[in-house]
Structure formats: structure tokens, C-alpha cells
Chain A
Amino acid sequence: MTARIGVVTFPGSLDDRDAQRAVRLAGGEPVALWHRDADLQGVDAVILPGGFSYGDYLRAGAIARFAPAMTSVVEQAGRGLPVLGICNGFQVLCESGLLPGALTRNAHLHFVNRDQRLRIESADSAWTSGYTAGQEVVVPVKNGEGCYVAATAVLDELEGEGRVIARYLGSNPNGSARDIAGIRNAAGNVVGIMPHPEHAVENLIGTAGSDGLGFFTSVLRSLVTT
């Protein structure tokens, strides 16, 4: 049986359909989840998609974390449910305390959309197990508040525990501390990533290729084997 992966739609979510497509192309069954619904319909994993939840006017992800769906996500993530936050989803994960640190305004003050070279730093998470550590991939970034910040001690801890899962190569598109593009929680089931793997799943679409598909096949494989 294929795994069912939920994609939460908040008001202002934009990449929800893209995330669903990525799940489908990876071989899973996407399930649309609604922010007002605390019931996660028994999905095997959850994706918080990119976008501008609530317009992101106050602070990216600040309001979305209060959604009933998020209460369930936080609770079930604590019990090991794989959760992937992409871009705005990463911001929501930080706001809701599932991941440390915060995402602030890009250092150059502009929204930036470009194909970005990344190094997968750790294959030790539910969403990156299909890559090998050190592997280079190209995935698009597109964000205005993608600059990852955290206290030095937190950064050191993330590095020390191998919890930085992806790093920007070449130029750092938003000024992130230590070129961090994505991190995971200690257990490895919760991952936040600023670039958009769901936009790199078909060679025909965009210019980045299909390097991002691995995030979705990784989780599907880990769900089948566990």
C-alpha cells in the first residue's frame, strides 16, 4: 500500500498543489489537509508547503502556527510523525517550536528566485535518507525571509549533532547563518528546508532538473521499511 502524505493548506499557502504533485510523482498518495481541521486523517507524514500564510505580513509563519491542524502536527511530530516544512512551512516549524531558530528578512532585502546549488549534509533524516551526505543537488530557492538565524550555541549544537541537513553552495542567497539551507530536529523526523524540492521533481518544468524528488522518495521508503 502506498503511503499517504498530508499537505496542509493554510490561507495563503501557494505551493500546496506542487507538494501534492511531488508526493504523487514520488509514488505516494497526497492527502489535502485543511488548516482548520485538527484531524490529520491518519496520514503517514505531513508537509507544510510554501507560500505566504496569512499574507506573512506580521512575520512569516507567525499566525499559521495557531491553526488547529498545527496543534495536531506538533503533537504527532513528538511521537515520530515525519514532517517536512518547505520555505513558509520551515518558518511555521520554527515559529511553533518544532525546530530551533528563526527565519528573518533576506540580507539583500529582496525576494529572490533562482536555481541554487546545495550540499546535502546529512542523510540522517526521514526526508534526506535517499541522498548521500556530501551529495550536491540543484533546487530552486524563492523567498524574501529565508535568512536562518539562531544563537551561536544553538548553531554549534546543530552542527555538532549533524542536524544541518543542507547548505548553500556558491553564493548564499539570503545571508543565512553558516550557509544553512535546512535543518532537522534531534529525532530526525522533522525537517525544515528553505529551498523548494517540490519545484525540482520534473525535468520538463523549471530549469533545476529533478534533484528535489529525493526528499519525497526518502520519506516514502522510510515509511515502507518501518
Chain B
Amino acid sequence: MSAQPVDTVSHAASSPEVAQPYDELGLKGDEYTAIREVLGRRPTQTELAMYSIMWSEHCSYKSSKVHLRQFGDLPKGDRMLVGMGENAGVVDVGEGLAVTFKVESHNHPSYVEPYQGAATGIGGIVRDILTMGARPVLVMDPLRFGDADHPDTKRVLPGIVAGIGGYGNCLGLPNIGGEVVFDPSYQGNPLVNALCLGVMPVDRIQLSAARGVGNVVVLLGAKTGRDGIGGVSVLASATFDEDGPARRPSVQVGDPFAEKLLIEACLEMYDAKLVEGIQDLGGAGLTCALTETSAAGRSGMRAHLERVPLREASMEPHEILASESQERMLAIVTPENLPAVLALAEKWGVLATAIGEVTEGDRLVVTWHDEVVVDVPPGSLADDGPVYERPMTRPADLDALQSAAMPAHPSTGELRDLLLRMVASPNLCSRRWVVEQYDRIVLGDTVLAWPEDAGVVRLSEQTGLGIALATDGNGRFARLDPYAGAQLALAEAYRNVAATGAIPIAVTNCLNFGSPEDPEVMWQFAEATRGLADGCRALATPVTGGNVSFYNQTADTAINPTPVIGVLGLLDDVARRTPMGFQEQGESVLLLGETREELGGSEWAWAEHRHLGGRPPAVDLERERVLGEVLVSGSRDGMLSSAHDLSDGGLAQVLVESALSRGVGARIVLPEALGPFVQLFSESAGRALVTVPRSEELRFTEMCSVRGLPCARIGVTDGSSLEVQDVLSVPLEELRTAHEATLPALFGPLAGDTAPAHPVVTAPATGLQLG
């Protein structure tokens, strides 16, 4: 038992005058008053800890809620089985199968401890997907760092990449895509977003509601330690004078092996219909799981905290409830099924402990050695947190930014060198250094992954049913115009998915922003959510879920607003997928869409001139939709040999990537208009480059003209160099060397290269988690 007397409910009722450190816990005065009103007394120390966590920005979405409602108002379409609000949205993909997917941020932990922060980011999102009843089948990792050559990026990037790989590889989940973006606005605040998708039979969907009086509350998985108890640790020092051992909040360390066992054990429990409700333990740990399951079930619940298996015996009730120890789940089980659940847990070597039961009434009661330390209405924690309409102002510098003069265009004679510099620039160079550290093929269903536009994964070996997924976000565009920026991110992900031949059907998002208490950031957030909601309506892709990450800033400087959008697409036969690279010599190269002089926020302006200004490319969602239709039909009818969407770096980048894919060159004749520089480097949206066999050309171009989609034949695949007539000619090997050398030069050689390895100091203590 705890050495100190605990603050019980009866003690709290009889000592209203006790001063409580609510502001150190991040609660405002009126929030504290509201808690006292809900309870009709002062909260106990443990209750105060719970409210402070559940009413935090991270858990309550108190600043974003009013804006996110727009997503809930979107038409659901006829595929969405579970929408926003549950752990992740669920989409019907036919053949009796459903998929669930979601992207989440783990930005701050990954800055403090890159390896473990990123690793536990993967672990957390995978549990969200598992909770829905699905088998996780893939991960993706949209990442953003400070400048590539900044010394701290050398600390942060290798650790984050090793952590994503270390955890995902050990779980056996293929990494089918992601992003690596460098920009000084992320210096000191890298963005580590992690996405997971899972698959299940439609009738296996699990919900988190705890129902059925007498049902048992079972904690599954790892022991509970003092991981990430964060702000709550002030309770210890505020109440007790001596600073006992290990009071400091500690970094969460991931154990992917434990999570793998947890996944297999849970899936067997679902299949055997042994659980009534289930909830993962992530941020806010047991506090969140107990309150959300009981609130969702409109049930009472009693938890006996001393039954929770602990790593450190000296933990206090509030620490146990706040702990963010990884690899844990909470299951609601009937008493009859309990033995079977315990047996399955034993089979997989997973710890399982009955820690409570569903009760009559509507109170969540937590006891500690028979003393009541918590007695609350769970809805007050889970659902009825504060909601703010934060003040917003358009950033004062936006007009100046938008009207900034663009740098002068280079002459045609300079374009060859420019091309070589651009494909080697940190944001456009090959990601091989990163993705080679990821298992991209485990599970044996990866049809497309890096360096393709979208990852494509087969769901059914029998029918070829599959999904495509891409994530995109452009913080520079969003900085210049957050409404358009969010739509451009959506449009790019949509285009990436369509380029593979998949029909885009649903959206997830991770909204990375600065402090919501800064009215200019709040305005950016409001504009971006409005843009995304309008965009999703126009494209008929409902938002199934997502995540908001605020307070991404160093001192007073916020990151570029960075909505990261994930688009899910559906392929009824993955054998029809379209790859991004040129496949054969002698095929026609067609440019779809319309090129304008749009260089505001472009990669060229940034890489060559560190220039961020002007307006981002214009958005035309109707055009995106038509382009998507053409790409999908072209794949269905077997007309397309390759398709690659245009985005960062423009046509030049896409020509290089398409040619390098299989070493097939091209001879290109650019349209006269706008001049070769703009043709090559403009970042106009709504465009893609495709190749078609000569025999299909007419059929394809007619399909485009029927739909009003501009389609220009700009050349032919040919030889082993990239030749742009009257402009430049570069052998593919020279392009490849330039494209691939950048990241190894910055972060160490690739496997098999002769130079000595760089030290990996951020890996786990044993340094052996490599497989």
C-alpha cells in the first residue's frame, strides 16, 4: 500500500478548503470551478489529475471542436460504417470487408527522444486500428524536419527513421509510403505523423462502449510504469515534500514485440466473439480508457486500481491513472467469457488482469485498496470538456507575403544545371536512404510502395480487391493561403491515389499547427479546416477521422500550418494498378491538365532562392475530379502504361522520376507557351503525366477530349537519357547519381557502400533491435 495517505472522496468532501495546483496542471480557473460544480465538492487529487488530462487540448479538442464539426456535416456517402468520434472511421470496401485507417501525430515526443518518440507513434496508431476490430496491415509515415543540413536534423532524422522502422518492422507491417519534407519552420519541432490501416470482416467491427452490468473490465498487455505522466507529476511534489525516486515523468519506451503479441491475442478474441467492448490505452492511459468506455456505454464502472500490474510498486493512484505506458488495451468481457480471454492471453504471453466491473448507475468509481479515490460521472471527463471559440485574426504579414515579388526566371541555357540541382535538392531527392530501413513487403500483399505515387495493397488474393493510400501536405502553400493549402494537399493525395488507378473514397487528416492561443494560428486553422471540408464535399470523399496537433512551435514562432491529408482509394483488381515509371521504349508521353505560370510557394523558389511568397497554385477541384476519372478509366480499360501526378518540382521532377524508375528515357518537346522554364518547373495543380502505347493513344486522347480534360502529346519514351528538345539533354545515370547522392551525403552511406557507418546513438540500449 502507498506510504502516504491518499486523498479520498470522503476526505475531499470534508476538506473543501484544500488548495489544489490546478493551474500547474494546465487547468484554467473557470475550468477548475466547473469541475467543483460537476462533483459538488472539490475533486480528489486523483480526480483532479484525471480532469487535467481529459480536459487538455490533446484529449478534449477544446480549441478545434467547433471547427471540426464541419467534417461531421459532410455527406457520409454509402461506404462509411463508422464515422468520426470512434477511435478510427470504418469504410465498407465490398466483398464483406471493411477497412479502418487514421493518421496521428507524435511530434513532441519525437523531438525529445527521436527513436522512442517515433516508435511509440507507430505503436499508438496501430492500437487505434486494432481497437476497431481490424488487423493492421500497413503503416505510412509523413515526416517533416528542419533544414536538411542543420546539425540537429542529423540527431533527429536518423533516430526518427530508425524508430519508425524499428517498431513497424518488428510488428510485421509494411511501410507503403510517407513523406520527408525539410523546412526551417520545423527546426525544433519536427512533425512525425503516423498512419495505419487495418482490415476486417464487416461483422467484426468492435466498439468501445462498456455495457452489461457485471461484465468484467480486463487490462491487457504491458505492466504500468511511470511513462509520460507529464504534468501530473506536479501532484506528487505539490503534496509531499520529499521528492521520491523517479518522480520525473519519463519517456515512453516502445516494446513492439509486446504489441505484436497483443495484436494476435486481440484478433483471436474478436474472432471468438469474446469481447463486448474494447479500447486502446494511448494518451491519458487508463484515465481515458475507463472514462471513454463507461461514458460510451452510459454505464457505471468500478475499477480496483491496486490490481493493476505495476513496474514500480511505489506508484500512486493518480500516476497509475495517468501513465502512458505503451502496449496496453482495455477489454470488457462477460464473466462467462473471462476464462477464455485469460487463456488466449496466456497462449500469446500477454498479461491479462481483471481490474474492475461494469456497474449499475452512471458513476465511474475508482478504489485504491478499498478507499474510494474517484467518483465521477464519466461523461463529464470524456464528452463534456470545455469548448472554446478562440479569437482569430488573419496574420498581419500575409498581404506582404502574398504580394512579394517572385525571383527572376533563369535563362534556357541554365536549365540543365538547374534540373540537376533541383533533383538533388533535399525536398526532391531520392528517399531511398529512408525507405530502405523499412520493411515494405512483409505480409506479401504490397503491390506498390516507394517510390510510387501511392501505396497499393491487396486485400483479397482471390479477387484482387485492394486499396491505395497517399498522404500529402504542403506547409508553404498553407502558409501563403491555408484554405487553398488544405485543398491543394487534399487534391494532391487524391491525384496520387487516382494515378494508380484507384477510386478515391475517403479521407483522414492530421492537422499540425502552432498554438491555438495565438489568434493568427487559430485563423490559419479555421481556414484550413474550412478548405478541407469544402474540398471533401466537392470531391465526395468523406472525412472518416483524424487528429489535431497544436502547439507546434519554438518560442513564439509557429511552424508553417501543415494539414497532412490521407486519401484512401479502392481498386477492384490490383492487377490493373498503374505504375508511375516509364515502362517501354517508344510509347507516347502525354501531359494531362493545364500548365500556368504558378511558382508561388514552389520548390524552385524555395530551393534556389529561399523565397516564400506569392500565391499558391489555383485549386480547381472539378478538374481534379475529371482528371481522377480519366486516370481510373485509363487503368480499367488497360490503356495506360504509366501515370505519375505532377506536384512539387513540376514537370521536370516527374520526367526524371518516371525515367529513373526502370531506366527508360524520353524525348520531350515542350509546348511553346510560357517558355521552357515555366513549363518545366511550374507547380500548377490538376496535372499528370501518362504514357500510353501508340495503339491506345487515339482512344485515350478522345476520352480526354470528351471529358474536357486538356491532353498534350509532349514526347515519346526513348533511349537512356532525358532529352528536352532545344533545352537540355542529360543521361539517366547522371540524373540518378544526382538524385540519389543527397541523403547519404547528409546522413551516412547506404547499406553496402564502402564508407564507414555513422554511429547510431539513438537506438535502444541494446542497439540490437534490428532483426
A interface with B by C-beta (< 8 Å): 11-12, 14-15, 17-18, 21, 50-52, 54-60, 87-88, 105-114, 140, 142-145, 170-174, 196, 198-199, 201-202, 204-206
25 contacts between A and B (CB under 8 A): A11-B260, A11-B261, A18-B443, A51-B771, A52-B169, A54-B257, A55-B255, A56-B257, A57-B257, A60-B771, A105-B770, A106-B770, A107-B757, A108-B753, A108-B757, A110-B760, A111-B169, A113-B439, A143-B771, A144-B169, A145-B770, A171-B751, A202-B444, A205-B447, A205-B458
* B: interface residue count bin: 35 or more
Please name all residues of chain A whose beta carbon is closer than 8 Å to the beta carbon of B408 when the two chains form the complex.
none
Nearest opposing residue in chain A for B575, CB measure: A204
Most buried by B among A59, A105, A109: A109
Assembly CA distance A163 to B760 (angstroms):
35
Assembly CA distance A97 to B440 (angstroms):
31
Assembly CA distance A140 to B435 (angstroms):
14
| B766: Cβ under 8 A from any A Cβ | yes
From residue B254, how far is it (CB to closest CB) to chain A in Å? 11
Whether A206 lies near B162 (C-beta < 8 A) is: no
Whether B751 lies near A112 (C-beta < 8 A) is: yes
Whether B771 lies near A206 (C-beta < 8 A) is: no
Assembly CA distance A218 to B663 (angstroms):
33
Whether B751 lies near A144 (C-beta < 8 A) is: no
Whether B766 lies near A57 (C-beta < 8 A) is: yes
Please name all residues of chain B whose beta carbon is closer than 8 Å to the beta carbon of A144 when the two chains form the complex.
169, 769-771
Partner of A112, one of B437, B461, B574: B437
Please name all residues of chain B whose beta carbon is closer than 8 Å to the beta carbon of A198 when the two chains form the complex.
444
| B309: Cβ under 8 A from any A Cβ | no
Whether B768 lies near A17 (C-beta < 8 A) is: no
Known A113-B441, A144-B769; 14 more pairs at CB < 8 Å: A11-B261, A11-B349, A14-B171, A15-B172, A18-B442, A55-B257, A55-B769, A56-B769, A58-B768, A107-B757, A111-B165, A142-B771, A170-B752, A174-B751
From residue A193, how far is it (CB to closest CB) to chain B in Å? 15
Assembly CA distance A192 to B48 (angstroms):
58
Given contacts A106-B770, A109-B757, A173-B751, contact A205 B441 (CB under 8 A): yes
Please name all residues of chain B whose beta carbon is closer than 8 Å to the beta carbon of A199 when the two chains form the complex.
441-442, 444
Whether A14 lies near B442 (C-beta < 8 A) is: yes
Assembly CA distance A180 to B374 (angstroms):
62
Please name all residues of chain A whose beta carbon is closer than 8 Å to the beta carbon of B750 when the two chains form the complex.
108, 112
Assembly CA distance A201 to B461 (angstroms):
13
Whether B771 lies near A145 (C-beta < 8 A) is: yes
Whether B444 lies near A21 (C-beta < 8 A) is: yes
Assembly CA distance A31 to B496 (angstroms):
40
From residue B315, how far is it (CB to closest CB) to chain A in Å? 25
| B86: Cβ under 8 A from any A Cβ | no
| B445: Cβ under 8 A from any A Cβ | yes
| B523: Cβ under 8 A from any A Cβ | no
Cβ-closest 7 pairs across A and B: A144-B770, A55-B257, A171-B752, A14-B172, A112-B751, A18-B444, A144-B771
Assembly CA distance A58 to B440 (angstroms):
24
Most buried by A among B255, B349, B439: B439
Please name all residues of chain A whose beta carbon is closer than 8 Å to the beta carbon of B166 when the two chains form the complex.
111
From residue A91, how far is it (CB to closest CB) to chain B in Å? 9
Whether B752 lies near A145 (C-beta < 8 A) is: no
Assembly CA distance A209 to B186 (angstroms):
40
Assembly CA distance A143 to B440 (angstroms):
12
Partner of A17, one of B165, B257, B444, B759: B444
Please name all residues of chain A whose beta carbon is closer than 8 Å to the beta carbon of B257 when the two chains form the complex.
11-12, 52, 54-57
Assembly CA distance A60 to B766 (angstroms):
12
Whether A205 lies near B445 (C-beta < 8 A) is: yes
Please name all residues of chain A whose beta carbon is closer than 8 Å to the beta carbon of B447 when the two chains form the complex.
204-205
Nearest opposing residue in chain B for A91, CB measure: B771
Whether A52 lies near B441 (C-beta < 8 A) is: no
Given contacts A55-B170, A112-B436, contact A88 B771 (CB under 8 A): yes
Whether B769 lies near A57 (C-beta < 8 A) is: yes
Assembly CA distance A143 to B171 (angstroms):
14
Partner of B444, one of A12, A105, A170, A205: A205
Could you give, for residues 408-449 of chain B, a 1 whenever the CB lies within 8 Å of some chain A CB and a 0 otherwise? 000000000000000000000000000111111111111100
Whether B769 lies near A114 (C-beta < 8 A) is: no
Assembly CA distance A87 to B442 (angstroms):
12
Whether B439 lies near A142 (C-beta < 8 A) is: yes
| B710: Cβ under 8 A from any A Cβ | no
Assembly CA distance A202 to B575 (angstroms):
11
Please name all residues of chain B whose beta carbon is closer than 8 Å to the beta carbon of A196 when the two chains form the complex.
441
Whether B440 lies near A113 (C-beta < 8 A) is: yes
